Structure 1
Amino acid sequence: MAYEPFSPGDPEPFLADVTAERLRRRDQLAQCYRLFGALRFGDMGDGHISFRDPERRDHFWMLRYGVSFATASREDTVLVSPGGVAIEDRSIGAVAAPINITGYHIHHPIHEARPDIEAAAHVHAPYATAFSTERRLLEPINQEATQFFEDHALFDDEEVQILSADGGKRIAVALDDNSHVILANHGVLTTGKSAAEAVAWLIEMERAAEVALKAKRPVRLSDEASRIAKNDLVRPWSGWQIYNYLIRRHLPNG
């Protein structure tokens, strides 16, 4: 497929019609999983992306269990209830299917605690996972890292296999009012106004983690310089534009 060029400041095209917007978000969710697949993230199913349903606000969509990220399609996305079950509702294309229950344990408490969050993403990306073992926040030592300055938290807990929603609730508490959280010895979790935005920020955080791990003697930017950079880099459309660059590079066929 041929992507149309986009312009600085172009926002994500959210739709007013709920049915159309749900389909757009499901297509985007599947594409987000395919982007992870193209980057070789989640090759063993080790990750999950969710978005809140635009109508049933206590439900969210994610990928059904047992589907390769690289081949995810709209039909592979399922609607998860507050009770952790993929529900059947043919009127909106929802089918009952197995889900990654750990994904529910993590995502449901976050969506429940933060009604402002529309989507969340977590995957065992190599550098972010390695960085998480150091149990610290990202220092603003480069441009990418300034995007997370004063807007990410640390979940400093040894529960790396989230066995229940209680673990997810503790992650939500650690996240607090931040946009992103480093999960100690586990990886990172990012959020956004859409699955595309959450995934874009996760990939940016992966790049920041790579620099943090490879830098020999980094010099930290001042708080003032970090805030100036962040205010310019993190705008309402930034995540969407980053995502568009990523899909054009890694998913030329959509």
Structure 2
Amino acid sequence: MTSTTHSDTDHELRISSMKGKCSDAEWKARVDLAACYRLVHLYGMSDMMANHISSRVPDEDGAFLINAYGMMYEEITASSLIKVSHDGTILSKPDFGPLNYGINKAGYVIHSAVHEARPEVACVIHTHSWASMAVSALECGLLPITQTAMRFLKIGYHDYQGVVLNTAEQESLVKDLGDGEAVIFRNHGALTVGRTVGEAFNWMHRLELACRSQIAAMSCNTPFAKVSDEVLEETWNNYQPGTRRPYGQMEWPALLRKLDKLDPSYRT
């Protein structure tokens, strides 16, 4: 019988700073993306080190930032993010020491597909929250039974094809997202996009609330209050980007202030 011993430093994460090793625009994108990881965790939408949030690198065609596979959402920092090309090549990453983290293939396949197809999208968020997974498994999908859910009246759906490791799935994934801001992955989870990190987070936060409220309402086992198709359409239209100011403009600075009070280490 053999035993394995571990030193106290086997799990210790040391990350060299990337500030000064990238443009000012990229550093800002890194800070915003790290903040988004922290917020997704803070609002109960993370799944340990699974799932991904990515951000396009400003002024650099074909490159985006994504998390190092092996880090928890609550420990993501601006410097810990890895820059990767649309073809999966790692363009830059910090020195992680002996841990030497890389990227998760499923994350690359999903996020590269969206960034390649939607050049106006700055941020892509994919989650496996309990609520979005529950709704993704329902044949009825997301129901417009609350004002928040009515924002997603025309949400897309992507049928489950197994763990997303094959680039052949990218075409159907992008088609099911279309030009919208959200898609439900059947039997899987949810994905949202935005022209800014704040906008993408706003869409995901509201989608999460819509899913949670639906599961709560369905658990009561009583009929839902009816809303006319006309009102549903009018409400959906009121929430569209062309009707109102972009989402996240007002919320994002406040959310950063919230994080700065709780733990500003995401900025490092």
Q: Same fold (TM over 0.5)?
A: yes
Tell me how far apart the structure 1 counterparts of residues 132 and 250 of structure 2 sit (CA, whole Å): 22
Aligned ranges 1:41-52 → 2 under 5 Å:
41-52=45-56
Q: How much does 1:172 deviate? A: 0.8
Q: How much does 1:80 deviate? A: 0.8
Q: How much does 1:31 deviate? A: 0.6
Relative to structure 1, the CA distance from residue 48 to residue 86 in structure 2 (aligned partners, 3 Å threshold; closer, same or farther) is same
Tell me how far apart the structure 2 counterparts of residues 188 and 56 of structure 1 sit (CA, whole Å): 27
Residue 198 of structure 2 is matched in structure 1 by 196
Asked whether 1:66 is paired with 2:70, we answer yes
| Aligned-CA RMSD value | 2.4
Residue 233 of structure 2 is matched in structure 1 by 227
Note if contact 1:136-1:154 (Cα within 8 Å) is conserved in structure 2.
Answer: no
Residue 158 of structure 1 is matched in structure 2 by 161
Per-residue CA deviations over 1:152-190 (Å, capped at 9, x if unaligned) read 20102332x111222233211211222210000001100
Aligned residues: 230
Relative to structure 1, the CA distance from residue 210 to residue 80 in structure 2 (aligned partners, 3 Å threshold; closer, same or farther) is same
Tell me how far apart the structure 2 counterparts of residues 81 and 38 of structure 1 sit (CA, whole Å): 29
Partner of 1:75, secondary structure, is coil
Runs of 5+ unmatched residues, structure 2? 1-21, 95-99
Relative to structure 1, the CA distance from residue 242 to residue 219 in structure 2 (aligned partners, 3 Å threshold; closer, same or farther) is farther
1:168 aligned to which of 167, 170, 189: 170
Tell me how far apart the structure 2 counterparts of residues 46 and 80 of structure 1 sit (CA, whole Å): 18
Tell me how far apart the structure 1 counterparts of residues 237 and 259 of structure 2 sit (CA, whole Å): 28
Tell me how far apart the structure 2 counterparts of residues 89 and 246 of structure 1 sit (CA, whole Å): 27
Runs of 5+ unmatched residues, structure 1? 1-17, 91-95
Asked whether 1:217 is paired with 2:226, we answer no
Note if contact 2:106-2:164 (Cα within 8 Å) is conserved in structure 1.
Answer: yes
2:128 aligned to which of 120, 124, 142: 124
Relative to structure 1, the CA distance from residue 184 to residue 51 in structure 2 (aligned partners, 3 Å threshold; closer, same or farther) is same
Per-residue CA deviations over 1:111-144 (Å, capped at 9, x if unaligned) read 1122222211001111011100014442321111
- TM-score of the superposition, structure 2-length normalised? 0.77
Note if contact 1:106-1:169 (Cα within 8 Å) is conserved in structure 2.
Answer: no
1:241 aligned to which of 245, 250, 254: 250
- TM-score of the superposition, structure 1-length normalised? 0.81
The structure having more radius of gyration, on CA atoms, is 2
Tell me how far apart the structure 2 counterparts of residues 251 and 69 of structure 1 sit (CA, whole Å): 16
Partner of 2:53, secondary structure, is strand
Tell me how far apart the structure 2 counterparts of residues 194 and 25 of structure 1 sit (CA, whole Å): 9
Residue 18 of structure 2 is matched in structure 1 by none
Residue 182 of structure 1 is matched in structure 2 by 184
Q: How much does 1:208 deviate? A: 0.3
Tell me how far apart the structure 2 counterparts of residues 136 and 112 of structure 1 sit (CA, whole Å): 30
Per-residue CA deviations over 1:58-109 (Å, capped at 9, x if unaligned) read 111111121111011101111111221321389xxxxx95012111010111
Partner of 1:182, secondary structure, is strand
Q: Which amino acid aligns with 1:158?
A: Q
Note if contact 1:120-1:190 (Cα within 8 Å) is conserved in structure 2.
Answer: yes
Residue 13 of structure 2 is matched in structure 1 by none
Residue 110 of structure 1 is matched in structure 2 by 114
Deviates more, 1:214-223 or 1:123-132: 214-223
Tell me how far apart the structure 1 counterparts of residues 40 and 83 of structure 2 sit (CA, whole Å): 20
